[in-house]
A and B are shown apart, each in its own frame.
Chain A
Amino acid sequence: MSFSAGLLLVTFLGSVAALALFLWSMSRGLFGTGEAAGRVIFASKEIGLVEEPAATTAATEDELQGVMNRTGHTGEFAVLTPEEADERAMLDASSKLPVIIALTGAVTWLVIASVFGLVASIKLHAPDWLVHEAWISFGRIRPAHLNAVAYGWCSLAGLGIAIWLFPRLLRTPLVGSRTAAAGVLLWTLGVTGGIAAILMGKSAGLEWLEFPWQVDIPLFLGGTLVGVALLRTLKRRKVPHLYVSVWYISAGLIWLPALLIVAKWPGIHFGVQQAAMNWWYGHNVLGLWFTPLGLAAIYYFLPKVLGKPIHSYHLSLVGFWTLAFFYSQVGGHHLIGGPVPNWLITLSIVQSMMMIVPVVAVGVNQHRTAHGHLSALRYSPTLRFIVLGGMMYTLASVQGSMQSLRIVNTTTHFTHFTVAHAHLGLYGFFSLVMFGSMYFVMPRVMDWEWPYSKLISLHFWLVLGGFAVYFTGLSIGGWLQGMRMLDAARPFMDSVTVTAPYLYSRTVGGTLMTLGHLVFAAHFGVMLLRRGKRREGAALLRRPMPTPRSSGSLSPTGASV
């Protein structure tokens, strides 16, 4: 007890000291170049100009611009010259091949994974449904769902968006588009093999690491090839500053292979040590792979659509480094109460609380950037998904920090409450952000508008409504389940029966989400074929006319003042 308490104090003080040192070094300019770096995502005089390729008509984009003009921003020229527009079109086209492959793969896995999830959900209240074949039993469909969402949908979407962002962030055409495309294909191949292995009963047995190690080789090589293409692009960059999204994406691409190698090395892990490793991997793949990719997208699209630099570039760097430091040590909070060494749990709980620092940094930054422009959400599908996803990032994280406290965790640990949290994070935050990003990116890549604006709204309301039902029901059900389980006076079966209505409500919510995904996939398919209504006045990029500004000082270069 006293050892743990001492350790708690020491790690806490150590972390605070590290944070203070970090803030000091940043204030001395040791870590970057300040506000100018926040502007590198804009062309020389572009600040003030909205960009929303998913706006359904040019008129909508004008409305969006109107909102920004009314609600005010930094007050510069708000123009994109024809040359700059041409350059951007060239950059966007440079990554076309790998981006199309990655995003098509992502959407395909999204649909497959949702069907798996739905089948698993129904089985939990209809346990005698589809029981005659091993491959479709709950114990196979459920890990197939998890791996298909994590490595199929989320990873491929994240990779596709990252590949597309790099040329824009570095103002350099993608170097090695074919290399990246080959990497994405290898990755898809690996996921397919892994899901097949799980369905055939060849799972490696560890949660989040079910793929047999042979299958991880194409995943690893695929990720490396994408990394090589992005690194080569990075070396040729034409921007003076690295935008924060570059930091997140590059770090994610360094971390993932390291995680895979340590976790998958055959023959070294054993017993409880393997359990510790399992959750070191489990939370790092969430915190150091999906989260950075999701945040990189928010940090780009939020300011870019609004035509307004991120509130504080320094704050975004605080967020980056504290996220890396604290998140990498939280794995033990998945084993609270388990037979693992006490110090490991304590360390993880402390760092889970410290996670409030990067979460607040990201939250404040987003809030201050979007503040006052909320009516812009009406005209921008991208923003709608991204702003909501960003809010759910904050919610999931605050919930996560609470959930790692022993008093809460004792109740929630083994229950559906955790599953609700998992969906708040990976669905509410990550998946919504990816939807929003894809709405922005696809028109630029295909040079074609989203054909049916109604389908975008339908998608949005179906997944939002479905998710609300899913999350609320399961959180309540999970909490009640935990309370029943802790009550020694009640038989265990009480904790099973109490969840029944909530498991039904999950199926209802999940059905709505799946329908939303089918709508999205259909729309995406029409987009890929460049079919559907042709509209007058495409809201694509080429709008070189300057927008009259009501007020504001004009800085001659559009650079930092």
Chain B
Amino acid sequence: MMARDGEVSVFKLAAGAIAIMAFATGALVFMPYVALSDIAPPEGLKPYTDQQLRGRQSYIAHGCIYCHSQQPRDPSVAPDMARGWGRPSVPADYVYDKPHLLGTMRTGPDLFNIAVRQPSRDWHLGHLYQPRAYSPGSIMPAYPFLFERRRGAAQPGEVVVSLPPGYVVTGERIVATQEALDLTAYLLSLDRTYPVVKTGDVP
């Protein structure tokens, strides 16, 4: 009789646990799936090119997301727009983002519209090589392994990074690797200034 009593509670336990989990999954995973699955890409948003996708992959591999978000907030909440980070983002801005890179830290600035704020490839390459050459006091890591130091005469086809004086040894030049070029191409694709249709409260 005791055992039977116990059986009932094991069953209740398992059933309750599963039901509660199913309910939460329905609310937090399935409902957004339904609500967001038929969103059309805005006209101004282009799919990523192959090179940009490779760059996106290295953004993931080098963990830029642990310091940079991609989700400007509404001006009523925070001065993100005033900082030049762009208008509040909407779900349609992310239709080509797999995996999503919204991020939860702002050790560095939001990058959702970095191409607008900083359209120069040279600047990005130099900044990745040594952030402190452009932004004194920055705590962004330097990424020297995305570049090669070469001596002698420049070769055709090389992208040589132009750094502020004092950051290159004379006689040496800093050459961007393909990965650095891809990553920069991705950064330069981050421009969501096209208008969006305001849908209000997405149900």
Interface residues of A (CB under 8 A from B): 3-4, 31-33, 123-125, 127-128, 131-134, 137-140, 142-143, 201-207, 234, 237, 239-242, 247, 250-251, 254-255, 258, 262, 268-278, 280, 284, 288, 321, 324-325, 328-329, 331-332, 334-335, 337-344, 347, 406, 410, 413-416, 418, 485-488, 492-493, 495-497, 500, 503
Contact = CB atoms under 8 A, between A and B. Distances in A.
Nearest to B18: A254
Contacts of B154: none
Interface of B: 2-3, 5-6, 9-10, 12-14, 16-18, 20-21, 23-25, 27-29, 31-33, 35-37, 39, 58, 60-67, 69, 71, 73-74, 77-79, 82-83, 88-91, 93-102, 104-109, 131-132, 135, 137-145, 201-203
B106 A272 contact: no
15 contacts: A3-B201, A234-B10, A240-B3, A254-B18, A255-B17, A255-B21, A262-B29, A270-B100, A273-B33, A274-B97, A338-B73, A341-B201, A415-B105, A493-B135, A496-B107
A413 B107 CA distance: 11
B78 A342 contact: no
Contacts of B108: 496
B6 to A, nearest CB: 6
A401 to B, nearest CB: 18
B102 A338 contact: yes
Given A140-B62, A234-B10, A338-B71, A344 B28 contact: yes
B119 to A, nearest CB: 19
A324 B139 CA distance: 40
Given A127-B139, A240-B2, A280-B29, A271 B20 contact: no
Contact of A274 (B21, B31, B100): B100
A255 B13 CA distance: 12
Contacts of B61: 134, 139-140, 201-203
A405 B163 CA distance: 45
Contact of A242 (B13, B90, B106, B138): B13
Nearest to A414: B106
A342 B62 contact: no
A254 B98 contact: no
A143 to B, nearest CB: 6
Contact of B104 (A139, A324, A413): A413
Given A131-B143, A137-B143, A339-B90, A271 B66 contact: no
A278 B13 CA distance: 26
A493 to B, nearest CB: 6
B91 A339 contact: yes
A139 B65 CA distance: 8
Contacts of A272: 32, 36, 91, 94, 100, 102
A337 B88 CA distance: 9
A347 B141 contact: no
Contacts of B71: 337-339
B21 A258 contact: yes
Contacts, number: 237
Contact of A139 (B63, B88, B93, B101): B63
B85 to A, nearest CB: 9
Contact of A271 (B5, B91, B138, B144): B91
Given A254-B18, A274-B99, 10 more contacts: A33-B5, A124-B107, A127-B142, A270-B36, A273-B32, A324-B20, A328-B21, A339-B93, A341-B201, A495-B106
Given A270-B98, A337-B78, A497 B137 contact: yes
Contacts of A284: 24
Contacts of B20: 324-325, 328
Q: Tell me the dominant secondary structure on chain A's binding face.
A: helix
B41 to A, nearest CB: 10
Contacts of A321: 16
A240 B5 CA distance: 8
Nearest to A258: B21
A322 to B, nearest CB: 10
In this complex, the member of A143, A273, A495 whose beta carbon has the largest number of chain B beta carbons within 10 angstroms is: A273
A418 B107 CA distance: 12
A250 B14 contact: yes
Contact of A341 (B2, B35, B79): B35
Contacts of B31: 344
Contacts of B100: 206, 270-272, 274-275, 278
A414 B109 contact: no
Contacts of A250: 10, 13-14, 17
Nearest to A268: B33
B83 A492 contact: yes
Contact of B9 (A32, A251, A339, A413): A32
Contacts of A493: 135, 137-138
Contact of B60 (A203, A342, A406): A203
B20 to A, nearest CB: 5
Given A137-B141, A337-B74, A488-B79, A280 B28 contact: yes
A442 B64 CA distance: 41
